[in-house]
Amino acid sequence: MEALRRLHRLVFAHKIGTDLAWTFGSFAILAVSGVLINLVIAFTRDASALGVFNIAYATYLIVSQIASLGIHYSVLRHAAYYQEKPEENGRMFCTAMVLSLLLGLVVSAALFVLSPLSLHLFGSADVAESLHYAALGLVLFPLNKVLVSYINSLRHMKAFAVLQSIRYIAVVTVVTIVCLSDMNFNLATLSFLAAESLTTICCMGYLAAVGLLRHLHFCTRWMKRHLAFGSKGVMAGIFLDLNTRLDVLVLGMMLSPREVGIYSFAAMLIDGVQHILAIIRVNFNPILVKALRDSDHSIAIRLLKLSKRFIMGGTALLSVTLVAGFLIVVHYIIAGKGLEEGLPSLILLVTGFTLISAFTPFDNLLMISGHPGYQTAQAASITLVNIALCLLLVPIYGIEGAAFATVAGYIGGMCFLLYYSPRLTGWNLIGNRFSA
């Protein structure tokens, strides 16, 4: 009991400990939601339906980054930077909201009209129809990225965690309703529209309640700053989501929906590992912005020290647990669907992400330190390695080739960060020291 009391005091003694606890709670809901979506689809439908949904979801995520145009990255940096200047922050925030809503409308309409073309890309009428419905969610997606980034940057992490959880719950609820009914399964991608609509309502309600919708004025000066910053960082976001879903898209173009479904069922578990590390990153980002702005290097060093001390071991333990859970599910809960064929891919993925896990919470460092172009280059390095190896290995090794390509890409991207961080920020991440 004494050990538990000490752990409680350690976690909640500082704001970052409380923030991490809340965001880990949000991750728990995300993890359960992601698993439930895949389990429900696999149990009520088949591996092909699972493949269709994941191809549509992957495409949705990548197109949504185009719609966002990196505006949320500008908000993430500048909201923290101008936190003590509410009028300037209000102009910055209002301009970002207007821009993001306009972008969402334009890109949503484009995907809605062009979705039939995906029939030629993926060879599946079901994927094309699913994308038709998914396009509707893009209207509000860029706006929600701005709203959530603003809340994150001001370190309202309890609200951030709750709002993120609402989105996940909405998606899994709609997908489950479709799966358990006689409706056309392709309607499941309407879950994106439901989730984004609910998120917008809740974000705006929260911001109004805490007085963060004051001093809102559209400003052409901020429009230019957002577009300049966002245009440099937008490709980083595109590459980021492309990297997390590139394997699924390549498999969709080269293999059958069934094989995509088998791979996706295994890869969903690595999403859990990535989201845990992302949760830590979103808590670290606003702290690092201020630490680098004020040259308070001791804070940055302490964060990396904690990461090296705890995160790799925790990720390894989680990975072993996930593999064990996967085996139980595919052999005893949804047996006979062929999903056990994804085990080698899962082992490759969890091994690779464990190796780089200590540095992963810092992989937005180049962006938040004011170098969005280099952040884009880092993300591009992951994509280029991933694409090259996918094209080389998938025809030979199938889904295992995609898993190896994904791991190799992320390791390459981490090497990029480790090389450029001391040159651009003065922070040697390997030695955890700043240059004089």
In this predicted structure, what is the pLDDT of residue 234? 72
**Residue 31 is assigned to a structural domain of this protein:** no
Question: Given 238, 264, 295, which residue is the final one in a domain?
Answer: 238
* One domain, residues 221 and 273: no
Does residue 24 fall inside a structural domain? Answer: no
Please count the structural domains in the chain.
2
Could you tell me if residue 197 is inside a domain? yes
Q: Are residues 278 and 418 in the same domain?
A: yes
Domain co-membership, 321 together with 409: yes
In Å, the largest CA–CA distance within the chain is 66
pLDDT at 280 over 50: yes
Band the pLDDT of 19: cuts 50, 70, 90.
low
For 316-342, what is each residue's pLDDT tens digit?
Answer: 999 999 999 999 999 988 888 888 999
Mean pLDDT comparison of 50-64, 185-199, 247-261, 334-348, highest-scoring range: 185-199
* Same domain, yes or no: 281 and 381: yes
Structure tokens given for 329: 């599910």
Q: Is the domain of 260 the same as that of 311?
A: yes
Q: Is residue 295 part of a domain?
A: yes
In a domain, 20, yes or no: no
Q: Using the predicted structure, report yes or no on whether residue 7 has a pLDDT greater than 50.
A: no
Last residue of a domain, one of 238, 270, 305: 238
- What are the pLDDT digits (tens) for 206-218? 999 988 888 888 8
Confirm whether 400 is domain-assigned. yes
Q: Is the pLDDT of residue 411 over 90?
A: yes
Q: How many of the other CB atoms lie within 10 Å of CB of 377?
A: 17
pLDDT at 284: 84
The structure's pTM equals: 0.73
Q: Are residues 203 and 275 in the same domain?
A: no
Do 188 and 324 share a domain, yes or no?
A: no
**Gap between the Cα atoms of 378 and 201, Å rounded:** 35
Q: Among 177, 203, 238, identify where a domain stops.
A: 238
Residues 6+ apart with CB under 8 A from 127: 52, 55, 56, 118, 119, 252, 257
Say yes or no to pLDDT of 11 above 60.
Answer: no
Give the angle subtended at the CA of 138 by the CAs of 73 and 387, to the nearest 5°: 70
How many angstroms separate the CA atoms of 11 and 16, rounded? 8
Share of the chain above pLDDT 70, in %: 92
Q: DSSP states of 151-165 as a string? A: HHHTT-HHHHHHHHH
Which of 144-153, 274-283, 305-314 is the least confident region?
A: 274-283
Residues 165 and 267 in one domain: no
Return the higher-pLDDT residue of 36 and 97. Answer: 97
233 plus 259 within the same structural domain? no
Residue 214: left (phi > 0), alpha (psi -120 to 50), or beta? Answer: beta
pLDDT-derived band at 1, boundaries 50, 70, 90: very low
198 CB-near residues (< 8 Å, 6+ apart): 166, 167, 170
Model pLDDT, residue 10? 43
Q: 12 falls in which pLDDT band (50, 70, 90)?
A: very low
Q: Are residues 275 and 215 in the same domain?
A: no
CA angle 91/96/99 to nearest 5° reads 125
- For range 371-389, the mean pLDDT: 88
Residue 266 and residue 170 share a domain: no
Q: Which domain holds residue 212?
A: 43-238
Q: Does residue 305 lie within any of the structural domains?
A: yes
Residue 347 within a domain = yes
Pair (140, 209) in one structural domain: yes
pLDDT: is 300 or 29 the higher one? 300
- CB neighbours of residue 430 within 10 Å: 12
109 token code pair = 């309409």
pLDDT digits (tens, 9 = 90+) for 38-97: 889 988 988 889 999 999 988 898 888 888 888 888 888 888 777 778 888 889 999 999
Which residues are registered as beta bridge partners of 434?
427
Please report the pLDDT score of residue 392 as a whole number: 94
Q: How far is CA 256 from the centre of its chain?
A: 26
Give the integer Cα–Cα distance in Å for 342 and 319: 15
